[in-house]
Structure 1
Amino acid sequence: MDSGKTDQATTTLTPGASAAVVLMVAPRQWRLAVVQTCAGLIGVLLFTLLFHLIPAWLDISPDLRDSLRTSLSGRESIWLLAWEMAKENPWLGVGPMHYAATYNPVAAHPHQVILQWVAEWGTPATLMALCLGVWGMWFGLSRLRQGEVDNISAALWLSIAGALILAQVDGVFVMPYTETWLAILIGLAIAKWSNPKPTPSAQRVFFRVLAIPVILILGNVLINEAPTVPEDSEAHMSKHHTGWTPRFWAQGWIPMDGVDGVK
């Protein structure tokens, strides 16, 4: 079975688990849990109405794919592969995104964030990331228990906690879409929960100067490389006979050969 698809059961239990933690630690946030539950029930009702009741009324047989599973969908194999990589490269790992360089028939990433970190980044980096994540989530919970009811803080904590729970069985820290949302949510949480102090002028100047090479590099990519991406893709597929792979990690190497053969 394709482990690239998120299990429906896990996706459903993720927000429920995060809401349960909030209710146990900060029961004053019960209204948000009620809103989340109602939203889930409305989603189920709409799905049933649009994909079952209305098609049945119109004598249409919808072709629906059922991704509800009771097995690990091959995850035990990719988890074991990540663990073996971690044991062989305990300090620095095999390198970011380099899990995909070793082909396996199941997936191009481990579908488990801790195993992916320890395999690709090594044990020290993984421990630092875990400590930072635990400290941040614990700090957020402490803020929820203090002061007045803050639905925005609760919503941020629920969203981040749900993503972290789902990351234990899926590629939340791999897919650019979820990575972008995580960056937005974590940024909002830091801004909401921190007590900012006036920034020294030297620090402001430092970051403004640091932004200059970033802007130049991104500008070069957008102007010189982005316009030729379709041609580069065609040339790469023609040379290596890869076809349209579903994810760029599946090809196992970055970057791909360009039209001129030097990219």
Structure 2
Amino acid sequence: MMSIALSINLNKIALIRNSREGNFPSVEAFGKLSLNAGASGLTVHPRPDKRHITPEDTRVLAALVKQYSSNVRPVEFNIEGNPLAPARGSYPGLIPLSLEAQPDQCTLVPDSDSQKTSDHGFNLSNSGSQLEPLIQQLKDAGIRVSLFMDPIPTQIRLAKEIGADRIELYTGPFARAYDEGTGQHSFELHTLAAQEALELGLGINAGHDLNLENMQLYSQLPGLAEVSIGHALTVDALLMGFETAVKRYGELCV
């Protein structure tokens, strides 16, 4: 039993599929592979431009997770995205899609179409008042809410004040520091942030650029409940196979 939940982000599978017509590779099939290999859950990040995961993928995977989850082995579905991005075409907006799909967790992220990927946490001094009613709307529907945050204690205190259940620490800068040989210093900053979150009663998730090497350090973060990993795992899967890659990451989540 993994003490840190490993949620597999399937965005890159959808990105490969979207480079051709049809449904190959199938996101649902890779969701099944992930869960069969021992993953604790699945993560998707639908965007208004539908560059990878689509609203329909989200619905299909929500049903898949419900099919797999049981009292013996609960698995979770996590939907990420920007709750302030407007609906566009078949994308209904993050909050309506989440209320429809009923994930276990909704992770709110301050991204935009112009970003290749999420690259910073919320500044709640600016956006907290907009997010607070949306957080409450999700919580009223029984959905746990996590906010994508930089490791800044003052901002984490604001996350608690506006009703978040968890934070997801943005680990992109940590991963870069690790590659440059200064990972320990960055990890210490994340540790201080994690300790602040724990004192406030917030759960702690993490994600972005975590891999088989830097996870050996980051898995020691106090109170770490869940990691969401997609890009590095997909790359590793090209070398070692998808099922083996999932199991290798799972071995680090103990």
TM-score band w.r.t. shorter chain: under 0.3
Give 1 or 2: higher helix fraction.
1
Which is greater in Rg? Answer: 1
Give 1 or 2: higher strand fraction.
2
What is the TM-score when the length of structure 1 is the normalising length?
0.25
